Amino acid sequence: MNNKISKNSIRRLIRYRTVLQRFQNMGLGKVFSDNLAEALDIKASQVRKDFSLFNLTGNKRGGYVIGDLLEKITNIIGKNRTYNTIIIGAGNLGKALLQYTGFEKEDIKIKAAFDIDPAETHKQYSTPVLPMENLHSFIQENDIEIAILTTPALAAQRVMDLLVKANIKGVLNFAPIRLKAPKEIFINNVNLLQELENIIFFIKEKKEKIAVI
Amino acid sequence: MNNKISKNSIRRLIRYRTVLQRFQNMGLGKVFSDNLAEALDIKASQVRKDFSLFNLTGNKRGGYVIGDLLEKITNIIGKNRTYNTIIIGAGNLGKALLQYTGFEKEDIKIKAAFDIDPAETHKQYSTPVLPMENLHSFIQENDIEIAILTTPALAAQRVMDLLVKANIKGVLNFAPIRLKAPKEIFINNVNLLQELENIIFFIKEKKEKIAVI
DNA sequence: TAGATTGTTAATCGATTAACAATC
DNA sequence: TAGATTGTTAATCGATTAACAATC
């Protein structure tokens, strides 16, 4: 991997895998860059460019062997082992993610949730909801690498600081705030309100265009 | 607006507004492109470039008046009226969003949720959970412009087809599948598993680098 | 062999950044 | 006035796409 790899090519790599798995389930054995391009709505040359970036090779004229591709991509993205995660903030979103089953089969294990509210920590779920005091030791003792942050914005930075101290490696942040952290820690932000506002802009835009024409 | 506006500048515009609101709450009246740049972790020239794209003007030497800026941005993004939305799929995520209070104050109203499961539709929430049969008429009668899709992947395209027939304008899609729809309908995809996998790639990457050094 | 597809290099496109004249 | 900041143009950077030689 001598070339610079952009965030976008990683995102696409993850999507290639999803599509390839679907193809494999459909009983296919091979694909051409064409097929993948169509599935992701991009150009075939983009697919080949990405593949060459990651040293994913095929056969001239014969396309790519799906099984091989999947194995290599999984090696690159890193899903041949389990990743332990925790959720911080057992509000609506936190609890929803706690019950979400889509992560399990991908070897992402949610080991616990944390909340300041004792009312939450006293209830019994299949995954424990623990008080914040236990956060540091739990991360240490259970090999937690990733934290999912679903606290209110106001609490988020404070929690982030605790996570930094506990040597977390990555954070999926749902709190609508930019977190400050050392750059070794990878932070991925998801802002649902912003995504909705994005839609609003585009459906509003349309209206204006119609008005103008 | 003669220049082409990219999706990224819209995203930034939304973030400018969030930051400006915070500044305003702190009692500030003016900002410089510098301040905004720092808050968003971008360059000041990027801020000024974006502003010029949207005809947001300031005063040479005096910076920008926060109040004016907020008013203009809100006009552009379109949040001086209510946007009616529905949630389709009353699973964990759907129910979490139903109870999420962050949208209300931004004039995004969730009018109902829909589910095929009668068990769900019989329960009583503050927002009604209705059977899928009512979808079409509900959209028509309640001026629904945006749908939030939280069904399993398998059902998502079928639901999308119903939404297209009912003339929905925008969709926030949580189902891990690319939806097919006429291009007038704006679709915004959120894939939580993909966001987690993204983190995994980067924390794994790091490990390898350390091994190499 | 002829035709099709990869892998890579070069061209294009778009987005970010720097630079600076205008001006408050 | 001198200094600071905007608004815009030009330069740079990076990502996508086209083109095509290699080859199965």
- The CATH number for A64's domain is 1.10.10.10
The answer to the question of residue A14 being in a domain is yes
Calculate the angstrom distance between C1' of D24 and CA of A66.
Answer: 18
CA distances from B201 to A5, A7, A80, A188 (A): 12, 10, 12, 12
Interface residue of A1, A72, A199 to substitute, partner B, most B CBs within 10 Å: A199
Q: Give me the pLDDT at residue B122, please.
A: 77
Q: Residue B117: what residue type?
A: D
Give the residue-averaged pLDDT of A126-154.
96
Q: Give me the pLDDT at residue B105, please.
A: 72
The answer to the question of residue B187 being in a domain is yes
Distance CA A110, CA A96 (A): 12
Domain co-membership, B158 together with B124: yes
Q: Is the pLDDT of residue A2 over 50?
A: no
Overall residue count recorded for chain B in this entry: 213
Contacts of A160 (CB under 8 A, 6+ apart): A149, A171, A179, A180, A181
B2, B55 in Cβ contact below 8 A?
A: no
In chain B, what residues touch A192 (CB-CB under 8 Å)?
Answer: 97, 100, 102, 172, 190
Q: Range with the lowest mean pLDDT among A29-43, A164-178, B98-112, B179-193?
A: B98-112
Q: Is the pLDDT of residue B153 over 80?
A: yes
Domain co-membership, B95 together with B177: yes
Q: Is the pLDDT of residue B146 over 90?
A: yes
Contacts of A64 (CB under 8 A, 6+ apart): A30, A31, A32, A33, A51, A56, A58
Going by pLDDT thresholds of 50, 70 and 90, the confidence category of residue A38 is very high
Calculate the angstrom distance between C1' of D16 and CA of A48.
Answer: 12
Q: The whole model's pTM is what?
A: 0.89
| Local structure of residue B3 (DSSP, 8 states) | S
Do the Cβ atoms of A198 and B7 come within 8 Å? yes
Provide the 10 A C-beta neighbour count for residue A176.
17
Domain co-membership, A103 together with A41: no
Going by pLDDT thresholds of 50, 70 and 90, the confidence category of residue A14 is very high
User: In strand C, which positions have an atom below 7 A from any protein CB?
Assistant: 3-10, 14-19, 22-24
CA atoms within 13 A on the CB side of A91: 17
Task: Report residue A182: phi and psi, to 5°.
Answer: -60, 150
The answer to the question of residue B202 being in a domain is no
pLDDT digits (tens, 9 = 90+) for A61-118: 999 999 999 999 999 988 778 999 999 999 989 998 998 888 877 789 999 999 999 8
A198, B11 in Cβ contact below 8 A?
A: yes
Domain final residue, candidates B77, B109, B132: B77
Domain final residue, candidates A57, A77, A97: A77
Do the Cβ atoms of B97 and A192 come within 8 Å? yes
Q: Residue B189: what residue type?
A: N
Cα angle for residues B154, B190, B113 (degrees, 5° grid): 65
Domain that holds residue B176: 83-194
Domain co-membership, B95 together with B68: no
With H, G, I as helix, E, B as strand and everything else as coil, classify residue B21: helix
Do the Cβ atoms of A184 and B194 come within 8 Å? no
Going by pLDDT thresholds of 50, 70 and 90, the confidence category of residue B3 is low
B115, B90 in Cβ contact below 8 A?
A: yes
* The pair of three-digit structure tokens given for residue B34, joined into one six-digit string: 């510098």
Distance CA B196, CA A29 (A): 28
Q: Is the pLDDT of residue A50 over 80?
A: yes
Domain co-membership, B156 together with B187: yes
* Count of CB pairs separated by less than 8 Å, A with B: 156
Chain CA centroid to CA A6, Å: 16
What is the number of structural domains in chain B? 2
The answer to the question of residue B2 being in a domain is no
B45 touches strand D (CB under 7 A): yes
Distance CA A44, CA A67 (A): 20
Going by pLDDT thresholds of 50, 70 and 90, the confidence category of residue A140 is very high
* The pair of three-digit structure tokens given for residue B74, joined into one six-digit string: 């809100």
* The pair of three-digit structure tokens given for residue A130, joined into one six-digit string: 């623990």
Domain co-membership, A139 together with A190: yes
